Structure 1
Amino acid sequence: MTEELRSAIEKLYQTFAIYPCKPTMEGCPCCVSAADKEIIHSKPLKQLEEDDLARYARKAMTTWGDTEDYKHYLPRIFELMATTGFIVDTFIVLGKLEYGQWKNWPENEKDAIVSFLLAWWPDLVKNSSRFDKVTFVEICKLTHDIDKLLNCWTISFDDNSFNNFVELVYDYYNDLTGKRKEFKVLNDETIKKIIDWIKKNSTVFEAGFFHYEGKDKKFAEKVSATLYVFERMA
């Protein structure tokens, strides 16, 4: 975990600490059992694990508790999302923000969330073995700041940032420059900035091929194929 992400997570805890853990939370009896309610009160917030919070993360605000209840658990849910293979899909977790009308929340709460998202993304591209398109799109939607998102993606052979760049271009460049089915929720200006950023960094493909040719022949071949995809559509 980067120090920036660690600090951003701690900022979430500090910001949302004003929302207490209520001893009871209203929940739809068809969706939320007594055992479900018991488990999220079974440990201090920072000790709750994935299995403890998974059901609540899915049901929060819709059929279980209100916005203030969710704000209490938000820091731990976001920490688990960013640091573990959280079993709840990212688009569900981040979608709760829009459901809870987070743009109307106090400024310090919105700032803490944006800081977290912009710290999570570079940590993800450095450490994840595959490009996470869903998270990329969701963070774009929430922050409306594609410039910061791309600027913090430093491409290097020393971590997985180059691998993720290859995955983005290999899997999605045709879509970005064509029908944009995979990125349909992003506006034209954002798409153009992504394409321009890819073009600006495309010179790294050749260097990447030679870097991996003697280390990982299969990946080097994928880098070469990615360059072909880019050049064919450029």
Structure 2
Amino acid sequence: MDDELTTALARVRDAFARYPRRAVLGGCPHCEGSVMVDEHDLFSLTISLGSTVGDRDDVKSLLPVLLERLLVSEELYPVIVLGTVSHQEWRTWPRVEQEAVDAYLDAVWRSLLADHPSRLGSFTDPATFLDAACAAGERMQRFLAVWDATLTSSADRHLAAAVSSLNFARPKPGVLGDWLRRDTVRDRLHRAFERDHDAPWADDIARAYDLLGA
């Protein structure tokens, strides 16, 4: 885990330290009743956290461990965790808490683009992160602008992989699909191939370049 991520996680812990973690969360009496907080089975908890189990303060108290677990394991779904944050209207939370979540998202995104393949637990690729960020209520363009500005080999390899996974027959490709189909992306892949033509992944870049020209 890089320094920026370590700092972002520490900031999250500090921002939400005032919310005590409860060993047992109150649940809907007609659904689950009281629920034990078991860190060995956080996935089951995240499905109902903040809705039928626990309240907003419980979400905040568990957020540091949930956000860290997303980075070090594949047991949680980023869309579920960050979707819970959205359902709890995190953009209405105190500024220090909003800024901590913002810094976490930015750090995760930059760290993901810095390595190919990704080594960030549940964030397996850019599409997974972007789906989760959208589930949190964030505009995808915020992160795509960073990708545009990150002119590194690893970011280009992620770009080529994203292009290769596109369904070109889909009539409405969505925000990411539209962004990937731009002429500027094809030009960038051409430059990436010229730079990395001797690298083992050069063929992947060339294939993505050709797909955009088809």
TM-score interval for Structure 1 and Structure 2 normalised by the shorter chain? 0.7 to 0.9
Q: How many equivalent pairs are there? A: 206
8 A contact 1:114–1:143 mirrored in 2: no
Deviation readout 1:88-135 (Å, 9 max, x if unpaired): 221111111121111211111111111100110111223352633131
8 A contact 1:5–1:123 mirrored in 2: yes
Tell me whether 1:179 sits opposite 2:172 in the alignment.
yes
Equivalence for 2:161: 167
What letter is aligned with 1:144? R
Equivalence for 1:231: 213
1:170-209 map, 5 Å: 170-172=164-166, 174=168, 179-180=172-173, 183=174, 186=175, 191=178, 195=182, 198-199=185-186, 201-207=188-194
8 A contact 2:163–2:180 mirrored in 1: no
Distance 1:164 1:192 in 2: 14
8 A contact 1:150–1:197 mirrored in 2: no
- Aligned identity (percent) is 20
Tell me whether 1:115 sits opposite 2:106 in the alignment.
no
8 A contact 1:8–1:119 mirrored in 2: yes
For 2:52, which of 57, 63, 79 is the aligned residue? 63
Distance 1:78 1:196 in 2: 36
Distance 1:128 1:80 in 2: 20
Q: CA deviation at 1:229?
A: 1.1
For 1:125, which of 108, 113, 116 is the aligned residue? 113
8 A contact 2:28–2:52 mirrored in 1: yes
Q: CA deviation at 1:148?
A: 5.2
Distance 2:133 2:181 in 1: 14
Equivalence for 1:156: 152
Distance 1:163 1:202 in 2: 9
Instruction: Pick closer, same or farther for the CA change 1:107–1:168 going to 2, 3 Å.
Output: same
Q: CA deviation at 1:23?
A: 4.7
8 A contact 2:79–2:131 mirrored in 1: no
Instruction: Pick closer, same or farther for the CA change 1:200–1:109 going to 2, 3 Å.
Output: farther
What letter is aligned with 1:211? D
Structure with higher helix content = 1
Which consecutive residues of structure 2, in runs of 5 or more, have no partner in the other structure? Answer: 118-123
Tell me whether 1:72 sits opposite 2:61 in the alignment.
yes
For 1:210, which of 180, 186, 197 is the aligned residue? 197
Cα RMSD for the two superposed structures: 3.1
> With structure 2 as the length reference, what TM-score do the two structures score?
0.79
8 A contact 1:208–1:220 mirrored in 2: no
Equivalence for 2:87: 99
Distance 1:221 1:197 in 2: 19
What letter is aligned with 1:19? Y
- What secondary structure sits across from 1:7 in the alignment? helix
